[in-house]
Every structure is written in structure tokens, then in C-alpha cells.
Amino acid sequence: MALIEWNDKFLTGVSDVDVEHQELIILINSFYSALEDKAEKKQLVKVLNDTYGEIYSHFVHEENLMEKYGYDQYQEHHEDHVNLLDDIRDITDEVESTDNFDEQKLKKKLNDWFCVHFGTHDARLHKLEKLMNDSNADEGKIRSFFSKFKM
């Protein structure tokens, strides 16, 4: 069972970020495969911990980009990252401490992140990154970006 199918709407146009997003989807789907296969609790926790680590690394990458470019919505984007990491940690704790795992809660959180966060916060951030890496970018284009892509 796959929770999330890769979709071109997740593409940011920044190849290393797109690869990271695809890898995160693979990790999340591996958790659901383990769940379907009735894996032991220890294996489920390991997959969740691995997923947490990869997501955390991805967020550090994005937040470094935001700082580098003086990103105007850093705080809101960062708070979204913190909330998702807190949710994953809570769910991991729940899996470790009980046999009554709330699968729907994790599914909703991760779907929300990929479908909403990718399509809003990440899309905007990586459009800026692409602009900043454009040799023709000047201050006027950058100002225009910030005014045009308000959230």
C-alpha cells in the first residue's frame, strides 16, 4: 500500500530538493508497507525514526536556504516544520507505548504535509531559490517575487 504517490505537482524545479522529496515519499510508503506486512513494533519504530531523521535533514536544508536568501516567510515555514516533526515524534511515541496505533492520524498529517506544505511553502521557497540561482536575477526581480508570491 502506498500512502503517497509521486506527482509532478510536487516538483520544485530544484533537482536536489525534488530528489529529497521523492526519497521522503519512499520512506513514508515503506512505513505503510511494514504496517500492512504486520511488522513488529520494533521495525515500525525504526522506520518512523529513519523517516524523522530524513525529514529533519530536509528541513535543515530548506531552512539554510531560507536564511541564505533572507526569506520573508521563514518563521511561518519553520513553524510548519516544527509542527510536523512534533507530530511524527508523538506518533512514534504512541507506536512504542501501545498496540493501539492511530494510523489515520499519521496518514492525515503526512498527506497534509505533502499536499499542502509542498504546494504552498515549498513551492514558493524553491521558486525563489531558482530565481536566485538565475544569472539574470537582479534586485528588481527579487523584490517583484516577494510582492507577487505573498501567501
Do the beta carbons of residue 12 and residue 126 sit within 8 Å?
A: yes
Examine residue 2 and state whether it is found in any structural domain, yes or no. no
Residue 36 in any domain: the answer is yes
Statement: residue 148 has pLDDT above 60: no
CATH number for 68: 1.20.120
End-to-end CA distance of the chain: 34
Q: Express as a percent the part of the chain with pLDDT over 70.
A: 84
Assess if residue 57 is contained within a domain.
yes
**Domain residues for 112?**
14-148
- Whether 7 is covered by a domain: the verdict is no
Number of domains forming the structure of the chain: 1
Asked if residue 4 is part of any domain, the answer here is: no
What average pLDDT score do residues 104-117 get? 74
For residue 9, is it within any domain? Answer: no
Which pLDDT score is estimated for 67?
87
DSSP letter at 73 equals T
Q: Is the pTM of this model over 0.85?
A: no
pLDDT over threshold 90, residue 79: yes
